[in-house]
Amino acid sequence: MSTVWQDLRYAVRVLAKSPGFTVLAVLTLALGIGANTAISTVVYGVLLRPLPFPEPDRIVQLAETAEGQSGEMDLTSLQLQRLREHGQFFESIAGYTDVGFNVAAGNEAAHVRGMPVSADYFQVLRVHPAAGRDFLPEEDRGDGQRVAIISHAFWLRRFAGDPGTVGQKVLLNGDPYTVIGVMPDGFDPRASSDFSAGIAADVWVPLALVAKTVGSGENIGVVARLKPGLSRAQVDAQMSLITQEFRKQFPGDVSARQAIAFLPYQFMIGSDVRPYLLVLLGAIGFVLLIACANVANLLLAQGGSRGREIAVRIAMGATRPRLVQQLLSESLLIALAGGVLGLAVANAVLGWLLALAPVSLPRLSDIHLDAGIFGFTLLVSVLTGILFGLAPAIYTTNTTLSEALKEGSGKASAGAGRARLRQSLVVGEFALSLVLLAGAGLMIATFTKLMNTSPGFDPHRVLTMQFWLTGSRYKSTPEVANYYQSVVQKIEAWPGVEAAGIVAAGLPLERGGNNGVRIAGQHQSDWLASNYREASPGYFRAMGIALREGRGILDSDTGDSNQVVVINEAFAQKYLSNRNALGEHVYVNGVPREVVGVVADVKSYLDRPSEPTTFIPGAQTSYEGSKIWEGWFPRSIVVRASGNPLRLSKSVREAVAAVDPLVPTGAVRSMDQMLAHSVGLRSFMMMLLSIFGGLALVLASVGIYGVISYAVSQRTREIGVRMALGARPADVLRMILAEGLKLVAVGVALGVAAALMLTRLLEGMIYGVSMRDPLIFVLVNLLMVAVSLAACYVPALRATRVDPITALRYE
């Protein structure tokens, strides 16, 4: 123990004696460890931090998966019922779905997210109301009873935290519900990510209320709590048995390609961002490795100058393990200092990351530094200390004694191995840098491509505002159509408004509704998948969607007139190929509609081709059907402004309130904002990978600078000899640069090989560019060669100034 203390004291002194080295090493590590801690914190918070439920790893999500298709699909309430019967390994199992509720109070309207859940939903999560009680099984039977459990936030907002709230009534969509419980503060079972606007659910009602409806009853999320002690394999085996039974029971629904699978509940949350975060984690791990290699390099260079000290210590009787311990305590000290400073770096970087993080990052509130992260950082520091310290310590203590003790003999034979190790480290640094830069290059290309991809409409100067009509006084399609008309007229009367319209079941660049359609006169065994939108007459103009053929939606398209549909070009091409689309009839929701117009394709996702879409005049829709769509996708007012659309936000809100203050409104966004948001994750990814790649390149350049400088100092004599033999400065310069380039070339070759394998991880994140895009690889290589040449140039220039006489006398 006393030797450890002694070593540490000595280490402090040694480090204090060479402040330049120490500061460089500590800063390099602080940067590496800090950035690593920050990214790890994000990954941990989003993907790994245990959910705030008891024994969260026993909670699973059940979903239907289809072979060859990514993503999981919801189950139906019938399937949930069957699962319940088969659930001998579930402690409890529950279903849930989404609805929107209009909560009217006095003269104001508000819209909240609601979750119809089955009675044992809270038992699955093992979270119970803080006040009042849980649902009773009988409340979730038959058509369900109008009881509600509300969130803490809603309780504060709507009931001002009144302790007597339980037992009171609340109007949801105009129907009175009895509040039976209030959930604890912060309860957010799905970490809010699934909601487009990131709003947590405020109201829970029995699932039975919606289980028999067409939309909600067929889109049920299922969560279950496994019995304790079950292994994954056991559940998997059970699941495949159940799937087989399901195939027999629901031959129409569960085909041979489909299966019921379960996933850890936590896995479901953040499944969209998981690949992105994991790539970032790996990338920052590379940066840390490079930082370690750099510090190891510094230590090796320093160890070279300490050969004599080590030799003396060995002559004095120090054993090798003892010396390795001594040198390792120095590197551990550096690493710990780097770790402590790294925490400060992490804190800063984290703040910056969160400010830049795309809103689609779930569980943002779970991202914070805490004791666990501190422990993790400490562990990383110790590991990096050993990682970068061990090899130098071993090499440094491996000296030929009788040589090293002689006066002036700086070139111990162990120097060769050390030089090789240093070169290998630099090669590794360049290889890792190349991988990062290739990744960054691909993301930059992707981002550029996306930004140059037309969304199919003119996104500038367009404002959108969400609103909901469920629970309002508009209870039939003509009433809704009239309401639309009043709102549009009111808004169009404002100065600075060029056009206004309304769309339901989804805006461009967002998830929207889809359903099956059929073409009249065409024999089809299956429904054709198509996006479904409801639009008012002004919508296409307001959104800037070009009309290709026929006409758009007109005021004359009313419930009584000819039932019509406007389709997009993708629909025309895919389903009505080589035919004049106009005049064809398409069955949408079972109603045959005449195609009267074709509009340009509009993208729901920039990186995917446009899907076939039907637009139904708002005045010709089914009221009940619209209500179901509205449960998932708010209706939107779309306004084309002559100037900055966001300046109209207030006016639009006021116009809507003036028409009817009891219609709740939601987010107000410009289409430019939505466009930015739709590429947010990739832009985040591009930026971080570019920063990591740049950082890696800088570190690698510092590394090669160090190695070449050291090589030049070691080769002073050789350079002198060469000059004595007739080498000109240019020859020497070329020789040293070539030496540097040789290392870079090996690093780059390894890096290209590694990058070709590793960029596969970016699959699904890149768009419009090949993962092996030669141009990107060439550019990245050129960048690396240029930067490394610059790094080698300084020591090479120094080499040309070697004075042959001095060099030759130095023996």
Partner 1 sequence: MTDANATLIKMEGVKKVFYTDEVETHALSEIHLEIKKGQYISIAGPSGCGKSTLLSILGLLDSPTGGGYTLNGQPVANLSISERTRIRNREIGFIFQAFNLIGDLTVYENVELPLTYRGTSAAERKQKVQHALERVGMAHRLRHYPSQLSGGQQQRVAVARALVGDPLILMADEPTGNLDSKNGEAVMELLRDLHRNGATVCMVTHDQRYANFAERTIHLFDGRIVEETQEARVGA
Partner 2 sequence: MESLIQLRGLEKAIEAGPNKFFLLRRINLDIQPGEFVTIMGPSGAGKSTLLSIIGMLDGAWTGDYYFLGEPVHKLNIKKRNELHKANIGFVFQSYHLIDNLTVFENLEVPLSYKNVPHKERVSLVCDTLDRFHIVGKKDLFPNQLSGGQQQLVGVARAVILNPKLILADEPTGNLHSAQGDEIMQLFKRLNDAGTTIIQVTHSERNASYGNRIIQLKDGWVVSDNATAGAQVGAAHPA
Cβ atoms within 10 Å, residue 605: 15
User: Considering beta carbons, is residue 257 or 728 the nearer one to partner 2?
Assistant: 728
Which entry of partner 1, partner 2, none binds 726, CB below 5 to 8 A by partner kind? partner 2
Residue of 1, 17, 88, 164 interacting with partner 1 (CB under 8 A):
17
Q: Within 10 Å of residue 504's Cβ, how many Cβ atoms?
A: 28
Spell 549-573 as b/e; 16+ CB within 10 A means b.
Answer: bbebbeeebeeeeebbbbbbbbbbb
Per CB under 8 A, the list member of 69, 81, 249, 319 interacting with partner 1 is: 319
Amino acid at 363: R
Binding mask 491-530 for partner 2 (x = CB under 8 A): ----------------------------------------
- Residue nearer to partner 1 on the CB measure, 312 or 359: 312
Q: Which one of residues 20, 228, 317, 609 is an interface residue with partner 1 (CB under 8 A)?
A: 317
Report the residue number, 241 or 416, with the smaller CB distance to partner 2. Answer: 416
- Identify which of residues 315 and 356 has a Cβ nearer to partner 1 in the complex: 315
Instruction: Name the residue nearer to partner 2 (CB basis): 344 or 724.
Output: 724
Coil vs helix vs strand at 753: helix
Minimum distance, C-beta of residue 382 to partner 1, in the bound complex (Å)? 24
Give the Å distances, CA to CA, from 325 to 7, 25, 316, 449, 464: 8, 19, 16, 54, 66
Question: What does 407 bind: partner 2, partner 1, none (CB cut-off 5 to 8 Å by kind)?
Answer: partner 1
Tracing tokens 């969607």 back to the chain, one arrives at: 545
Give residues with Cβ within 8 angstroms of 242, minimum separation 6.
Answer: 83, 86, 260
**Tokens linked to 447:** 């981002």
Nearer to partner 1, 94 or 311 (CB): 311
Given partner 2, partner 1, none, residue 190, with its beta carbon under 5 to 8 Å by kind, binds none
Q: Which two tokens stand for residue 500?
A: 């206004």
Nearest distance, CB of residue 802 and partner 2, angstroms: 12
- Interacting stretch for partner 1, rule CB under 8 A, among 189-197, 303-311, 491-499, 657-665? 303-311
| Range 366-425, binding partner 2 (CB under 8 A) | 413
> With respect to partner 2, which residue has the nearer C-beta, 291 or 807?
807
Among 728, 760, 790, 794, binds partner 2 (CB under 8 A): 728
Q: What six digits make up the tokens of 378?
A: 């400490």
Question: Which residue lies nearer to partner 2 by CB, 24 or 741?
Answer: 741
Q: How far is CA 666 from CA 136, 709, 745, 783, 784, in A?
A: 33, 63, 57, 48, 49
731 near partner 2, judged by CB under 8 A: yes
Shortest separation between residue 811's beta carbon and partner 2, angstroms: 5
Binding to partner 2 (CB under 8 A): which residues in 781-810? 804-805, 808-809
Which member of 85, 407, 560, 763 binds partner 1 (CB under 8 A)?
A: 407
Secondary structure letter of residue 505 according to DSSP? S
Find the helix packing angle between 729-758 and 680-714, rounded to 10°.
Answer: 150
Select 401 or 778, whichever has its Cβ closest to partner 1: 401
User: According to the binding rule CB under 8 A, does residue 727 interact with partner 2?
Assistant: yes
Among 5, 6, 351, 473, binds partner 1 (CB under 8 A): 6
Interface stretch with partner 1, choices 314-322, 505-513, 525-533, 788-796 (CB under 8 A): 314-322
Alpha-helix residue ranges (DSSP H) falling in 633-679: 649-659, 671-678
* One of 1, 2, 229, 355 touching partner 1 (CB under 8 A): 2
CA 254-258-261 angle, 5° bins: 105
- The window from 319-327, 526-534, 575-583, 614-622 that contacts partner 1 (CB under 8 A) reads 319-327
Rounded Cα–Cα distance for residues 521 and 354 (Å): 55
Residue 312 binds partner 1 (CB under 8 A): yes
Selected from 214, 724, 753, 794, the binder of partner 2 by CB under 8 A is 724
Q: Which residues are CB-contacts of 262 (< 8 A; sequence separation ≥ 6)?
A: 60, 61, 62, 63, 224, 235, 239
Q: Which is nearer to partner 1, 17 or 801 (CB)?
A: 17
At residue 342, what is the residue type? Answer: G
Smallest separation (angstroms) from partner 2 to the CB of 721? 4
Q: Does 320 bind partner 1 (CB under 8 A)?
A: yes
The runs of H, that is alpha helices, within 452-548 are 477-492, 539-543
Q: Out of 81, 244, 402, 556, name the contact with partner 1 by CB under 8 A.
A: 402
| 4 binding partner 1? (CB under 8 A) | no
Considering the rule CB under 8 A, would residue 721 count as an interface residue with partner 2?
A: yes
Q: Count the site residues for partner 1 by CB under 8 A.
A: 26
The dihedral over CA atoms of 359, 365, 371, 372, expressed in degrees to the nearest 10, equals -60
Please work out the total of residues on this chain that contact partner 2, with binding judged by CB under 8 A.
Answer: 17
Stretch that binds partner 1, among 336-344, 400-408, 668-676, 770-778 (CB under 8 A): 400-408
Nearer to partner 2, 435 or 799 (CB): 799
Cα separations (Å) of 308 from 320, 411, 710?
A: 15, 11, 17
Q: Which does 401 bind (CB under 5 to 8 A by kind): partner 2, partner 1, none?
A: partner 1
CB atoms within 10 A of CB 320: 13
Site for partner 2 contains 725 (CB under 8 A):
yes
Q: Which amino acid is at 333?
A: L
Is residue 722 a contact residue for partner 2 (CB under 8 A)?
A: yes
In the complex, what is the shortest distance from the CB of residue 319 to partner 1, in angstroms, rounded to a whole number? 5
Coil vs helix vs strand at 640: strand
Q: Which residues, numbered 321-350, are part of the site for partner 1 (CB under 8 A)? A: 322
Q: Is 318 in the site for partner 1 (CB under 8 A)?
A: yes
The DSSP string of 173-187 is TTEEEEEEEEPPTT-
User: To 10 degrees, the CA torsion angle through 213, 66, 761, 367?
Assistant: 30
Beta carbon nearer to partner 1, 408 or 521: 408
Amino acid at 438: A
Point out which residues pair with 587 in neighbouring strands.
518, 592
| Helix, strand, coil percentages in the chain from 3-state DSSP, rounded to 5 | 55, 15, 30
Q: Which does 317 bind (CB under 5 to 8 A by kind): partner 1, partner 2, none?
A: partner 1
- Is 111 an interacting residue with respect to partner 2 (CB under 8 A)? no
Residue 730 binds what, of partner 1, partner 2, none (CB under 5 to 8 Å, by partner type)? none
Nearest-approach distance from CB 416 to partner 1, in angstroms: 14
Helices (H), 525-622: 539-543, 569-575
Cα distances (Å, whole numbers) of residue 798 to 24, 706, 716, 809 = 22, 13, 10, 19
Please name every residue paired with 83 in a beta bridge, in sequence order, or none if there are none: none
CB under 8 A: which stretch of 248-256, 261-269, 390-398, 713-721 binds partner 2?
713-721
Report the residue number, 325 or 360, with the smaller CB distance to partner 1: 325
Number of C-alpha atoms within 13 angstroms, CB side, residue 755? 31
**Which of 433, 401, 388, 229 lies closest to 311, judged by CA?**
401
| Helices 371-396 and 415-451, axial angle in degrees (round to 10) | 140
- Span interacting with partner 1, options 12-20, 633-641, 715-723, 750-758, rule CB under 8 A: 12-20
Cβ atoms of 690 and 440 within 8 Å: the answer is yes
Residues that bind partner 1 (CB under 8 A): 2-3, 6, 10, 13-14, 17, 308-309, 311-320, 322, 401-402, 405-408
What is the binding site for partner 2 (CB under 8 A)? 413, 717-718, 720-722, 724-728, 731, 804-805, 808-809, 811
